[in-house]
C-alpha cells in the first residue's frame, strides 16, 4: 500500500474508532427508557405539541416522520440536543421517492432511461431539496423486483430485472448519501422493502409472498446486496410475510443474511405499523409478543406503532430480551446519527441550499423525462410531426393538461405549480404556426361519461393530426392501489375508437404508473409512446419527442403482457421441459373439434394468448434505425480468474442523430439449478450521428456468471454459455463461449 493510501486508511480507521467509542460511551450512559426511545419513530402530526416536546426532551423519541419544514425541524432538534439529558439528535424521515419539490419520473420511468448516472443526478437534487426542508433521512430507494404490473407499487420500483435494479439501487444510494455522509445536503438512504415484497400474491398489496430460497437469493436479494455494498445506511422491512414468516419478525432476513452474511452495520426500520401487524398475520400473540419477535429478528426501530415503547422494558426486565440485544440495536441507530454528523450540526439553514425548482433542477427533470419516453409503435413513421406541414393539431385527453396527475404517486412534497404540461409545451413549441384544438373529452382517466366525445371528434375531424394523452391518474398506482384489470380505465378505449373514425393520424401518449394491457388500442393508433408519469417537466420532454427535437430513447424495464392472464410474464423465464416455439404454438381457434388431447400444442403456452409478450423487456423504438454487426469474443474459453471481452459494432443507419441503449445478455445452458433463458449482464447508452458506427465492448468474468445453487452457496460453474448484444431482450447478435476450471 502506498503512503497516500495508508494515510487514507489510517484516517478512516481513526474516524471509525472515534464513532465506535462514542457509541459505547453513549450506550453506557443511557437508561433503558432512553435506549428504547432511540428505537421509537413517531409520526409528526403537523404541530409540535407540548406532549411531543416533552417526549423528545425526555429521550423517548429517536426519529420523527414527515417533518418538512426547516423551522420545525430546527426546533425539534433544539429540544433533542439542548433539553434532553444526553443531547442525542433526531432522525427526520420522509418518503423522498422520485424527487421532492421538483418531481422526476416515477422510479419505473427512471428505470426506462437505463441511465444510472442521470438517476444519481436526479436523486442528488431530491436530497438537496429535502435537506433544505430539514429532512435528513430519505425512505428510498424501493428496490423490490416487480414482475406483476397489477401491483400498485410497481410504479415505485425499477422493474423486473435484478441487474438493472441493482444498478439503479446503487445510483440512488450514492445520489442521496454522496461521498461524505456528513456533508451538507447529503441524507441517509433506506433500501426497501426487505425482502420479496414485489412477489405479493396476485399483485395484491401487503399480501403473502412464497419465494423459494434459491429464487430469493438469485432474483430478489441482489439489489439489496448491491445497496449494502454501496454503503446504504438503513433498510426497511416489507409489510408481507416471506414463506410464512412476516418480514418484521424474520430473523433469517435481518440477522442471518443482512448482518451475518453481508456484514451490514447500519440499522433496520419497520414499515408503518408493521410490527403491530405481526398480530394480524397470526405470527404474534399480541403486541408484547410482536415486540419480542421483532427485536429478536433484528428490527432496530419501530415506525409509528408502539409495541417497543409499551412492552420492551418489561420484556427486558422479565429476561425475554437480553439488554445486550437492545444495546446492539440502539448502537446501530447511533452509528448512523454519528456518521451523518448530526451531533456536530443537527440544524438546517435553508439559505445554504439552492432554491427548490431552480432552472438546473428543472433541466435534470426534463432530461430524465425525455430519456424515460419509450416509443412502442410508429406505423408509417407518423412521428415526429413536422409542424411546418400542419394547419391544426387536436390535443385530446384527460391527461393533456393536468399539472398534478403527471407527477405520479408518492409526491407529497411535489409542487404542481412547477409542472409544465403536454398541452402547455405543445402550445409553446407550435406558437402561431398551427392552431391547437384542445378537448379534455373525459373528466378523469376513470370517467365513463362520453358527453365530451362529440366535441373531441369534431376537433379531430377538423385537424391534421390527433395527439391523445391517456392513461391512469396518479392515484390508480402506488401503495394499496393494485388493479386486477390493467386495461386503460374508464371510457378511454371507446374514445380512441371514436377518434380513429375521423380518419386522421392518431398519436397516443400514455401516462401511467404501470405497464398496461394496451393491445386493444394498438390497432387504433398510428404511434404510441409510453410516458409513465413523467414528473414536473413531462410536457417539454413530450413536446421534444412529438416534434422531433429529440428521438425517443427509453427502453422498457419491465415486460408488457398482452392480457392480464399472462402475468407473471418476464424475459428471464426458465426454459421448462416443454418450451413453446413458433412451430409448436397452437391458438385455440385452430384446434379441431373433438381433436385428440395430445395431438397439438403440447408446450408451455396459453391457447388464447400465446407465449410471447406484447412488448419485451428492453424494447424501445427510435426515429432512426440501429444496426448491429460483427460480434466478437476475445476468447472462446474463459477461466475462472480470467475476463472475456464481448464486442459488437453498432451503426446508426438512419437519418437522425439518436441515442441507443446497447444491451448484453447471457444464458447459462446447464446449471446446478435451472437457469433463465436470458440474463442481463451489461448495458451502455450511446449517441450516434447518422451513418456513425461505434464498437461497444463489455467485460465478463467468472463473478458475473455466478449464481446460488442447490446448497444456497454462491457458485461459478463451468459450462457452455450463449451471449447476445442487441437493442432489446428479444433481439441481438449471438455468440458463445465456455467457462472452464482454472
Q: Which residues are catalytic?
A: 271
Closest CA to 395 of 432, 375, 425: 425
For residues 48 and 160, give the distance between their C-alpha atoms in angstroms, rounded to a whole number.
42
Question: What dihedral do alpha carbons 496, 511, 550, 698 form, nearest 10°?
Answer: -120
Q: Are 667 and 675 in contact (CB under 8 A)?
A: yes
Nearest in space to 515 (alpha carbons), one of 108, 103, 105: 108
**Pairing mode of beta strands 374-378, 234-237:** unpaired
* Whether 541 contacts 366, CB under 8 Å: yes
Cβ 191 vs Cβ 135: under 8 Å: no
User: Do residues 532 and 541 touch, judged by C-beta distance below 8 A?
Assistant: no
Q: Is the omega angle on the peptide bond into residue 141 within 30 degrees of 0, that is, cis?
A: yes
Q: Taking Cα atoms as reference points, which of 663, 633, 640 lies closest to residue 737?
A: 633
For 8-129, where are the E strands, in sequence order?
A: 40-43, 63-65, 91-94
- The residues near 390 (Cβ < 8 Å, ≥ 6 apart) are 433, 434, 464, 465
CA atoms within 13 A on the CB side of 470: 28
Note whether 386 and 402 are within 8 A (CB): no
Residue 268's beta-bridge partner residues?
235
Which is it for strands 465-471 and 506-511: parallel, antiparallel or unpaired?
Answer: parallel
d(CA 393, CA 434): 7
Q: Is the CB of residue 119 less than 8 Å from the CB of residue 71? A: no
Residue that is written with C-alpha cell 415486460 in the block:
559
578 phi, psi to nearest 5 deg:
-135, 70
Q: In terms of C-beta density within 10 A (0-12 exposed, 13-18 middle, 19 or more buried), how is residue 600 classed?
A: middle
730, 571 Cβ separation under 8 angstroms: yes
Peptide bond connecting 568 to the previous residue in cis, omega within 30 degrees of 0: yes
> What values do phi and psi take at 480, rounded to 5?
65, 15
Q: Which of 477, 514, 511 is nearest to 146 (CA)?
A: 514
Q: How far apart are CA 42 and CA 192, in angstroms?
A: 19
Grid coordinates of 199: 412477489
Half-sphere exposure of 152 (CA within 13 A, CB side): 19
Q: Check if the beta carbon of residue 295 is closer than 8 Å to that of residue 4.
A: no
Spatial distance between the Cα atoms of 91 and 336, rounded to a whole number of angstroms: 9
Q: Residue 43 in contact with residue 66, Cβ under 8 Å?
A: yes
Quote the CA–CA distance of 482 and 478 in Å, as a whole number.
Answer: 8
Cβ contact 20:41 at 8 Å: no
Nearby residues of 593 by Cβ (< 8 Å), 6 or more positions away: none
Half-sphere exposure of 507 (CA within 13 A, CB side): 24
Q: What is the bridge-based pairing of β-strands 527-530 and 374-378?
A: antiparallel
Distance CA(640)–CA(637), nearest Å, equals 10
Distance of CA 422 to the CA centre of its chain: 24
Amino acid at each position: 500500500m502506498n503512503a497516500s493510501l495508508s494515510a487514507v486508511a489510517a484516517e478512516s480507521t481513526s474516524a471509525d474508532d472515534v464513532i465506535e467509542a462514542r457509541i459505547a460511551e453513549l450506550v453506557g450512559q443511557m437508561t433503558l427508557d432512553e435506549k428504547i426511545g432511540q428505537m421509537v419513530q413517531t409520526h409528526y402530526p403537523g404541530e409540535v405539541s407540548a406532549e411531543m416536546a416533552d417526549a423528545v426532551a425526555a429521550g423517548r423519541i429517536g426519529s420523527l416522520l414527515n417533518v418538512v419544514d426547516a423551522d420545525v425541524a430546527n426546533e425539534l432538534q433544539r429540544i433533542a440536543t439542548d433539553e434532553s439529558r444526553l443531547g442525542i439528535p433526531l432522525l427526520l424521515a420522509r418518503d423522498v421517492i422520485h424527487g421532492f419539490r421538483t418531481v422526476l419520473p416515477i422510479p419505473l420511468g427512471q428505470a426506462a432511461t437505463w441511465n444510472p448516472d442521470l438517476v444519481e443526478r436526479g436523486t442528488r437534487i431530491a436530497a438537496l431539496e429535502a435537506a433544505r426542508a430539514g429532512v435528513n433521512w430519505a425512505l428510498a430507494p424501493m428496490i423490490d423486483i416487480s414482475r406483476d404490473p397489477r401491483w400498485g407499487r410497481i410504479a415505485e420500483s425499477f422493474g423486473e430485472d435484478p441487474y438493472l435494479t441493482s444498478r439503479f439501487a446503487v445510483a440512488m444510494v450514492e445520489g442521496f448519501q454522496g461521498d461524505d455522509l456528513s456533508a451538507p445536503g447529503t441524507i441517509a438512504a433506506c433500501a426497501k422493502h426487505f425482502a420479496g415484497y414485489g412477489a405479493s400474491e396476485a399483485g395484491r398489496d401487503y399480501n403473502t409472498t412464497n419465494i423459494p430460497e434459491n429464487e430469493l437469493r438469485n432474483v430478489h436479494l441482489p439489489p439489496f446486496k448491491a445497496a449494502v455494498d454501496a454503503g446504504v445506511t438503513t433498510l426497511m422491512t416489507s409489510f408481507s410475510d416471506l414463506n410464512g414468516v412476516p418480514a418484521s419478525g424474520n430473523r433469517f432476513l435481518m440477522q442471518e443474511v443482512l448482518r451475518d452474511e453481508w456484514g451490514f452495520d447500519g440499522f433496520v426500520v419497520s414499515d408503518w405499523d408493521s410490527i403491530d401487524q405481526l398480530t394480524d398475520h397470526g405470527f404474534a400473540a399480541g403486541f408484547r409478543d410482536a415486540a419480542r419477535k421483532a427485536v429478536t429478528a433484528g428490527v432496530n426501530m419501530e415506525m409509528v406503532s408502539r409495541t417497543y415503547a409499551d412492552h420492551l422494558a418489561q420484556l427486558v426486565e422479565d429476561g425475554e430480551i437480553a439488554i445486550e440485544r437492545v444495546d446492539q440495536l440502539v448502537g446501530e441507530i447511533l452509528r448512523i446519527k454519528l456518521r451523518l454528523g448530526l451531533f456536530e450540526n443537527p440544524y438546517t439553514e435553508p439559505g445554504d441550499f439552492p432554491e427548490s425548482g431552480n432552472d438546473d433542477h428543472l433541466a435534470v427533470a426534463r432530461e430524465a423525462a425525455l430519456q424515460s419516453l419509450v416509443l412502442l409503435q410508429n406505423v408509417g413513421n407518423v412521428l415526429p410531426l413536422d409542424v411546418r406541414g400542419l394547419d391544426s393539431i387536436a390535443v385530446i385527453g384527460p391527461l393533456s393538461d393536468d399539472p398534478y396527475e403527471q407527477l405520479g404517486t408518492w409526491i407529497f412534497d411535489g409542487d404542481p405549480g412547477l409542472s409544465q404540461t403536454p398541452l402547455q409545451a405543445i402550445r409553446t413549441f407550435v406558437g402561431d404556426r398551427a392552431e391547437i384544438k384542445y378537448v379534455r373529452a373525459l373528466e378523469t382517466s376513470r370517467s365513463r361519461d362520453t358527453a365530451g366525445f362529440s366535441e373531441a371528434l369534431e376537433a379531430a375531424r377538423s385537424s391534421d393530426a390527433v395527439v391523445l394523452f391517456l392513461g391512469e391518474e396518479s392515484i390508480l398506482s402506488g401503495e394499496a392501489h393494485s388493479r386486477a384489470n390493467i386495461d386503460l380505465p374508464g371510457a378511454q378505449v371507446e374514445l380512441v375508437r371514436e377518434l380513429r373514425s375521423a380518419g386522421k393520424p392518431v398519436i397516443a401518449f400514455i401516462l401511467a404508473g404501470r405497464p398496461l394491457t394496451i393491445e386493444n388500442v394498438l390497432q387504433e393508433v398510428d404511434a404510441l409512446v409510453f410516458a409513465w408519469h413523467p414528473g414536473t417537466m413531462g410536457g417539454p420532454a413530450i413536446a421534444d419527442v412529438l416534434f422531433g427535437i429529440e428521438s425517443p430513447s427509453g427502453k422498457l424495464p419491465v415486460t408488457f403482457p398482452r392480457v392480464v392472464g399472462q402475468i407473471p410474464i418476464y424475459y428471464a423465464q426458465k426454459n421448462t421441459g416443454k418450451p413453446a416455439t413458433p412451430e409448436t404454438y397452437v391458438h385455440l381457434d385452430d384446434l379441431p373439434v373433438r381433436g385428440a388431447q395430445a395431438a397439438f400444442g403440447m408446450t408451455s403456452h396459453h391457447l388464447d394468448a400465446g407465449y410471447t409478450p406484447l412488448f419485451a423487456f428492453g424494447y424501445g423504438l427510435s426515429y432512426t434505425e440501429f444496426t448491429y454487426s460483427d460480434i466478437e469474443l476475445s476468447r472462446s474459453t474463459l477461466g475462472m480468474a480470467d475476463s472475456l471481452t464481448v464486442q459488437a459494432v453498432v451503426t446508426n443507419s438512419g437519418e437522425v442523430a439518436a441515442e441507443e441503449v446497447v444491451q448484453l445478455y447471457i444464458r447459462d445452458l446447464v446449471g446446478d439449478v435451472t437457469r433463465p433463458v436470458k440474463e442481463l449482464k451489461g448495458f451502455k447508452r450511446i449517441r450516434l450521428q447518422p451513418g456513425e458506427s461505434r464498437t461497444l465492448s463489455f467485460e465478463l468474468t467468472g463473478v458475473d456468471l455466478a449464481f446460488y445453487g442447490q446448497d444456497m452457496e454462491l457458485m461459478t460453474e463451468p459450462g457452455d454459455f450463449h451471449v447476445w448484444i442487441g437493442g432489446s431482450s428479444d433481439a441481438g447478435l449471438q455468440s458463445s463461449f465456455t467457462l472452464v476450471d482454472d
